[in-house]
Chains A and B, each alone.
Chain A
Amino acid sequence: MLGEGILKGLAETAKNFAGSYVSKERLTTVQYPEERIAPIEATRDFPFLVYDGEDWQAGLRCVACQICEKECPPKCIYIEKSKDKKPDYVGKPQIYPARFDIDISVCMSCQICVEVCPFEAIKMDTVFELATEDRFGGLLLDRSKLAKSNEYYHTIHPTEAAEVDARLAEEKAKVEAKARAAAEAAAAKAAAAPAAAAGAPAKTEPPAVKPAGGAE
């Protein structure tokens, strides 16, 4: 009969109207600034640089190998190598980025830099409240803005960070074992040299970087 479908539709909207007052399933809106949804662990938006220890400049894992710069699809990473070297987490002297800029107005959050990085130095952040008044400068993040502690990494991506730490520890152990073996061999041979160059940066307390936005 004419009008049947219309009445059915009216019933459906009435159901939803009433339902939106009682059922959380229907009214899924989250009132953003006051309410926030629980952060999803896998979320990614823009990259940041991980550092170990307290001093971000000393602890930066990045060795300025420029692989991410080359692989970045929109070419938003800009790296300048340093002239000198500093020891990395296993104590091997490495060059470090004298300049490391990411233009997040260009970045498309594809995570390819993370995938190609052999040093676990660049990871994806979850901060999304990045509005700025300066269109160019404000969205061009330099080293100091990009550097975030490993603890921060643990708070936003705990599972992934744990895996990374395990991998790094394994690597470090391997290196240390090698060094020790070498040292022992050397000690056995010359019986002189002191053991190990293990100035390893243990997990001291770095400055707590506040997990901004979305973490609550």
Chain B
Amino acid sequence: MIGSASPLAGYLLVAALMFAIGLAGALTRRNAILVLIGIELMLNAANLNLIAFWRYGPHPEALTGMMFAIFSIAVAAAEAAVGLGLVIQIHRHAKTTDVDQMNRMKG
């Protein structure tokens, strides 16, 4: 079914599935680091969308999708750094990385 359809649809479906997996991971896992992993997956899924749209979009020479992807990667890197820094700091304070137990703002 997909094979007969546009190749873009395939990429979009993969991206959607990946996004959903990431979302599920972020929402269901207890460990804060895994929550971050889920978020990374979601960002990557978005990147795949961007690149796929750039490739099959009407104006590939404008490079818009690619630019977005590059910026997104940069932002994701920053997000990962800060997020993991936070997790480590929380672990230092609360001795846990379990998001279920991180229910207080004050250490």
Per the CB under 8 Å rule, do A and B touch in the complex? no
Chain A residues at the B interface, C-beta cutoff of 8 Å: none
Chain B residues at the A interface, C-beta cutoff of 8 Å: none
